[in-house]
Structure 1
Amino acid sequence: MRLETIHPKELGPEALAQWRALQHASATLQSPYLTPDWAQLVGATRDDARVCVIDDGAGFFAAQRLSRFTAMGAGAPISDYNAIVANADLRIDAGALCKALKVGRIDLTHVPQGPTPISAIGAEGSWIAETAGGRDLYEAALKQRRSEFVRQTDKKGRKFARDCGYIEFRASAPERAEFEQLLTWKNAQLKRSGQPDIWATPWVRRVLDATFEHRATSFNGVLFSLSIDQRLIAAAYCLRAGKVLHFWIVAHDSEYDSYSPGVQLARWAVGWAAENSIAEVDFGPGDYQYKRQLSTTQRMLSYGVVSGVSVSGAVRRTTQALRAGMERLPNPKLAALPGKAMRRLDLMRALAA
């Protein structure tokens, strides 16, 4: 196996074409977060971004090197997918990959099925709305699976219109004022819930702004908005690549909580996707009610470590094994504690880098 490690800005036209062809050929690797565009946008902000080019373009892996001990997937923790983009039968040596990045291990979350040589400790599902068949087929599938949710959402939507007047839904390239309002709402929401202020972290904000400015046909941001009398009530910022739309940031004006405007907007956005050549809307992992309610299937994603013989790799595998053991305990709250602690630690490491 031949490995060349470069900064994403060094990717040439041939490599970009090879990368996109590999994505196009795979059913599980088409996420916007696995595109060369994403790697380059992260690389424009982070000097530690790297791309491992495997066997002269047979595979690509985008990462960021946090220290001499550890790397993570490009854009972690704001990227919902990490993986090597290659044909499923490509054999990759984990130790050689770490050596190429000059680290002891690579910590990965949300890895879809494919050639990534991960020692998986566990898995969780990404919630998917299948939209290839059009809006009517999606709505029929949703009613079959979530009839009470559809009834309640429709009821709230009618009350929303009666109480507030004409509701305007729009999908467009991001508009700066609405984009900024969305981030203001989201940052306030994180603060209220005691979570880290992810979107205000300088390098994260620069990546977010870079996606906002990016207008390539292969990768772009889409802003969905819900307004009443030209007043923004809810917004969702998504990434689109090919036939995949990935929900990223969703928030709304808390004054309208009783109408569930974020859910109303998300459902409308899925319908828009079904009418605009989108095959799937990916809500990402995370056990949020609206994701379960709007989805029609799940894609399982692994989390774990990629490493050869290294102390840091052994330490990570040991702590992950302890976490897996705790998660088998009969007390759900106690079982969830190690995973929450490790995710929080990984989040803080990535944000501080």
Structure 2
Amino acid sequence: MSGPHLILTKPRHAESYSMHTSTIPASDLTPEMLATWREIQRGNPALRNPFFCPEFTQAAALVQEEIHIGIYVDKPLEMVAFLPFKQVKKGKAAAIQFSDYHGLIAPANFSIDGQSLLRAWGLNSFDFRYVPTDQQPFQSSTFEQNDSHVIDLKQFTDSGKESRKLRKLAREVGPVRFESHTTEPAVLQKLIEWKREHCKRTGFEDLLRDRWTRDLLGVLQHTQAKEFSGQLSALYAGDRLVAAHLGLRSATVWHWWFPSYDAELSKYSPGLLMLLKLIEHAQQVGCEEFDFGVGEEGFKQRFATGVVPVGKGSMKGSGWQQSVAHKLWQADRRISQSRFGDRYQSLFHHASN
């Protein structure tokens, strides 16, 4: 594997002087770096999800400041690895917001001391939520594990249980039409409007209240590359938009991400109808997997054929910091599960900062 053309430094704390590192703004990724990134992705099936594609990181960098890439090169072993991250403050980094998967872009057999690598990039900590548990450098800093539910599209067959609602929608509202991708701004705006109304109605956090989050969806709607694309799908009944979904697609995976629907038509289960149309379309275009991300929603359990284990935690730059962080998390966990949970729920968050 040929490495990218980089200005590299020998890290002071590295265990081996064959290890060279650099950090760059995501906007400075060169064509050579991107080619290496994609070659690593193709060679490691665990990186098949679109959130691991460089285009997602580049899109995030267009709407947010301080999106960086940590780069590792071992010249004798011809080994290259990348870590996209957001610089929260000096020495403190976190996974890019809204990414349902993150971690090292590295070969499947990549193994290294994560703390040494972190220090080599000038970081004291890296907070993460959805790193695949098979990524060795993060294993000692993972506090809890969750499952991302997936469908093996080669195994999936639709039972047809929802066909009655589809026929009823067509009969009572209008002929049903599905568009796998639209560039219409009005569809994205309606999706955002529905999503924010749903959050207000149900009491969930409004993830789209900040301008940059809405801008990110707009950038991804218009990102159409060979091995990555944002897919804004629309379901109509006659001329009426019934449901919309903005998801991401890689060469082999379709990822379920931002769905919403017209609440006035909820009796037709428009969100579920959209999901079934998306799964059918993903099969038709040759995707091998449909990924729901982490969550315990009933429909994920109903349709999933497997899971991808992912870890949540915080990697620290030294052993004693790692030990303290883990103990704080355990204490916060115990308190949050007790009758004092509501009052002290953010203990770990504030202490770790």
1:111 to partner: Cα distance: 0.9
Structure 2: unaligned runs, 5 residues or longer: 1-18
C-alpha distance in structure 2 between counterparts of 1:10 and 1:115, whole Å: 28
- The answer to whether 1:122 aligns with 2:137 is no
Alignment partner for residue 60 of structure 2, among 24, 27, 42?
A: 42
Alignment partner for residue 19 of structure 1, among 22, 27, 37?
A: 37
Q: How many residues align?
A: 326
* Percentage of identical aligned residues: 25
Q: Secondary structure at the match of 2:287?
A: coil
Instruction: Report the counterpart of residue 53 of structure 1 in structure 2.
Output: 71
Instruction: Report the counterpart of residue 260 of structure 1 in structure 2.
Output: 269
Q: Secondary structure at the match of 2:116?
A: helix
Q: Secondary structure at the match of 2:138?
A: coil
C-alpha distance in structure 2 between counterparts of 1:52 and 1:33, whole Å: 16
Structure number with bigger Rg: 2
- Structure number with higher relative contact order (C-alpha < 8 Å, ≥ 6 residues apart): 1
Q: Secondary structure at the match of 2:56?
A: helix
Equivalences for residues 22-171 of structure 1 within 5 A: 22-55=40-73, 58-68=80-90, 70-74=92-96, 76=97, 78-112=98-132, 113-118=134-139, 119-131=141-153, 133=154, 137-139=155-157, 143=159, 151=161, 153-171=162-180
Task: Compute the TM-score of the two structures, normalised by the length of structure 2.
Answer: 0.84
- The answer to whether 1:204 aligns with 2:213 is yes
Instruction: Report the counterpart of residue 294 of structure 1 in structure 2.
Output: 303
Structure 1: unaligned runs, 5 residues or longer: 144-149
C-alpha distance in structure 2 between counterparts of 1:163 and 1:207, whole Å: 36
C-alpha distance in structure 1 between counterparts of 2:301 and 2:328, whole Å: 30
Task: Compute the TM-score of the two structures, normalised by the length of structure 1.
Answer: 0.84
CA contact (8 A) 1:88 1:115 kept: no
Q: Which segment drifts farther, 89-98 or 18-27?
A: 89-98
CA contact (8 A) 2:221 2:232 kept: no
CA contact (8 A) 2:152 2:290 kept: yes
**1:29 partner amino acid:** L
Q: Please give the per-residue CA displacement for 1:121-145, whole angstroms capped at 9, x wherever unaligned.
A: 11111111111x3xxx421xx64xx
**1:270 partner amino acid:** I
CA contact (8 A) 2:249 2:255 kept: yes
Instruction: Report the counterpart of residue 189 of structure 2 in structure 1.
Output: 180
Instruction: Report the counterpart of residue 277 of structure 1 in structure 2.
Output: 286
CA contact (8 A) 1:41 1:211 kept: yes
Q: Please give the per-residue CA displacement for 1:25-77, whole angstroms capped at 9, x wherever unaligned.
A: 12221221111111111122233111011116611110001123531112x2x
CA contact (8 A) 1:122 1:302 kept: yes
